[in-house]
Amino acid sequence: MNLSRLRPSLPGISVLAAAALAASLSITGCKDARHTSEDAAITQPASIPLPNSPNAQTTDARPIIDCFGDSLTAGFGTDPGQSYPDDLQKLLQASGYHYHVINSGISGNTTKDGLDRIQRVIARHPQIVVVEFGGNDGLRGLPIPQTQANLASIIRQLQASGARVVLAGITLPPDYGKDYIAHFDAMYPALANQFHIPYLPFILQGVYGVPGSMQADNTHATPQGNQQVALNIDHLIQPLLKH
């Protein structure tokens, strides 16, 4: 994909930012051997086993923040422990917050895939869920009303379970046409308004174009870049946190 041909599609986002967003989606459908199953995609401090796993610590009563999405959440192309949810865990602990951050990102997931596994997330009884889906739907040219309906169902079910939800939106390359992109971009703020949830239009803010923050594919964040993504998400969820 030629990034120089990308244009901004979201209000207040520069050409560079729009390029980053479109680039961030260009290979989300690819599978990384490090993130080919949900268990592999869930990363957290080594001392805290996965919820409901055979070795899970039942004494860990910390409320859960579940980062639920595709490759941008999974940490595509980075080693275990280097995704943004890992860094979010460190940020929260350093600030004196006692939360257990779980990475429920799987590379290549569409909103339908997210909807298919929503009950696994709900079963963890998360207090906060960061929802980051839709890019792979857009790249496949799927009907936007269906993508929006899937996201709405995800958000609705999470809220019904008692979870607080925040939403990370994305955009598409100009190749998909002005009308399609305009409707796609409008989907995220519409959902944020409908469900009264915090909204982050650009998950790679402060990452794209910063030396050392993007991988060689110029698409996914490096470990350094994921640290900034964690800061972006930390800022988004701050109003929902409790000491």
The answer to whether residue 217 is catalytic is: yes
The answer to whether residue 125 is catalytic is: no
**Could you say which of 71, 104, 107, 213 is catalytic?**
71
The answer to whether residue 161 is catalytic is: no
User: CA nearest 106: which of 39, 196, 49?
Assistant: 39
DSSP 63: P
Residue 134 in contact with residue 200, Cβ under 8 Å? no
The count of other CB atoms within 10 Å of the CB of residue 12 is 8
Rounded to whole angstroms, how far apart are CA atoms 158 and 68?
A: 11
Rounded to whole angstroms, how far apart are CA atoms 116 and 119?
A: 8
**Could you say which of 79, 98, 217, 235 is catalytic?**
217
Q: Which residues are catalytic?
A: 71, 217, 220
